[in-house]
Amino acid sequence: MPSAKVLEQKKAIVAELADRLKNSVTGVLVSYEGINVADDTAMRKELREAGIKYSVVKNTLLSRACEEAELTGLQTTLAGTTAIATSDEDYAAAARILSNYAKKIKTFEVKGGYLDGEVVDLATIDSLAKLPTREVLLANVLGAFQAPIASFARAIQAIVDDGGIEACLAKKAPAEEAAAPADDASPEAAPAEAPAAE
């Protein structure tokens, strides 16, 4: 039977895990079997740089933490080797990084996950993995914002190249006069005809 000290340590680990599950926006569980040291080191570095917490956990402890965090649907995935990656902000990074390693290493497998406190299926995790990185999304948004501004800047530059606003207006005025019809009944033409009628 485990000592009181060991039980207290396990309770602390479960409490910490439960708190981590509750405070993260997403989590991905993997079976890390078969990953070599070089790949494991590279993967952990990539996860760390993306702000992802990654740790190997005992299934019994994670099961209790899942109960406390009300993620009981994850317990069916808790067999064999288990590691969990959680993120407090980025919804897609953990899924994207771990799925890439699962493609490279046959025995490395994504087992399950959750999103905003709800257990999700593997298809959802796969969809998250296919999302572009935050940097790519921001670049796309900035590109969309810059397109109208760039068009406006080109239009202003064209005006400047043509000699400024006055030059553009001067070019436009003769063109409008030439386009006006000869029998135009404008207010200026009316007074000229009035004296001839008398």
Q: Is residue 130 scored above 90 in pLDDT?
A: no
- Of 70, 105, 131, which residue constitutes the final position of a domain? 131
The predicted pLDDT at position 131 comes to: 77
CATH at 108: 3.30.70.1730
Residues 91-110: tens digit of each pLDDT: 889 999 999 999 999 899 99
- Whole-number Cα distances in Å, 9 to 18, 129, 148: 14, 35, 59
Residue that wins the pLDDT comparison between 123 and 143: 123
Domains: count for the chain: 2
Distance CA 28, CA 100 (A): 13
Identify whether 197 is part of a domain. Answer: no
Distance CA 82, CA 78 (A): 7
The top-scoring range by mean pLDDT among 8-22, 41-55, 145-159 is 41-55
Identify whether 193 is part of a domain. Answer: no
Looking at the structure, tell me whether residues 34 and 126 fall in a common domain. Answer: yes
Identify whether 18 is part of a domain. Answer: yes
Identify whether 196 is part of a domain. Answer: no
- Of 71, 97, 131, which residue constitutes the final position of a domain? 131
Distance CA 76, CA 54 (A): 20
Residue 131, Ramachandran bin (φ over 0: left; ψ between -120 and 50: alpha; else beta): beta
Identify whether 186 is part of a domain. Answer: no
- Of 131, 162, 193, which residue constitutes the final position of a domain? 131
Identify whether 60 is part of a domain. Answer: yes
Identify whether 188 is part of a domain. Answer: no
Looking at the structure, tell me whether residues 24 and 110 fall in a common domain. Answer: yes
Residues 53-90: tens digit of each pLDDT: 999 999 999 999 999 888 888 888 888 999 999 999 88
Domain that holds residue 118: 4-131
Q: Is residue 121 scored above 70 in pLDDT?
A: yes
At residue 141 the predicted structure's pLDDT band, cuts being 50, 70 and 90, is low
Q: What is the mean pLDDT of the chain?
A: 80
At residue 1 the predicted structure's pLDDT band, cuts being 50, 70 and 90, is low
Task: From 12, 9, 26, select the one nearest 84 (Cα to Cα).
Answer: 26
Residues 24-46: tens digit of each pLDDT: 999 999 999 889 999 999 999 99
Task: From 28, 56, 40, 48, select the one nearest 104 (Cα to Cα).
Answer: 40
